């Protein structure tokens, strides 16, 4: 192991190379949710994720969401990955 400091956890937003994509994903996810007439609570429940996670994703506070979280949201929305593209 090198002598450098070891950190754990997710990268901070400013350090993530995906910050720009997260900034586009959040509003698109919100748009799809509203188009389908879901509240945040309804979508979170249907996707079996925490409401706080959905809120953070919609505001781009989560810049590297989990793969299975995205899949759960897409399934609950009846959407495809392509539907998230801007």
CATH node for 28-84: 1.10.260.40
The pair of three-digit structure tokens given for residue 76, joined into one six-digit string:
């609950």
**Nearby residues of 78 by Cβ (< 8 Å), 6 or more positions away:** 36
pLDDT of the residue at 15: 76
Q: Where do the domains of the chain lie?
A: 28-84
Mean pLDDT across 3-10 = 50
Reference 58, options 82, 36, 34; nearest CA is 34
Q: What is the pLDDT of residues 45-69, one digit of tens each?
A: 999 999 999 999 999 898 899 999 9
25, burial (CB in 10 Å: exposed 0-12, middle 13-18, buried 19+): buried
Q: Which two tokens stand for residue 28?
A: 């698109």
């Amino acid at each position: 192991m090198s002598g450098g400091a070891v950190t754990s956890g997710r990268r901070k937003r400013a350090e993530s190379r995906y910050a720009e994509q997260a900034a586009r994903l959040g509003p698109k996810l919100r748009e799809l949710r509203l188009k389908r007439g879901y509240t945040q609570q309804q979508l979170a429940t249907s996707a079996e994720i925490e409401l706080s996670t959905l809120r953070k994703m919609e505001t781009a506070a989560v810049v590297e969401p989990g793969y299975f979280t995205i899949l759960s949201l897409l399934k609950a929305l009846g959407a495809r990955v392509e539907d998230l593209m801007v």
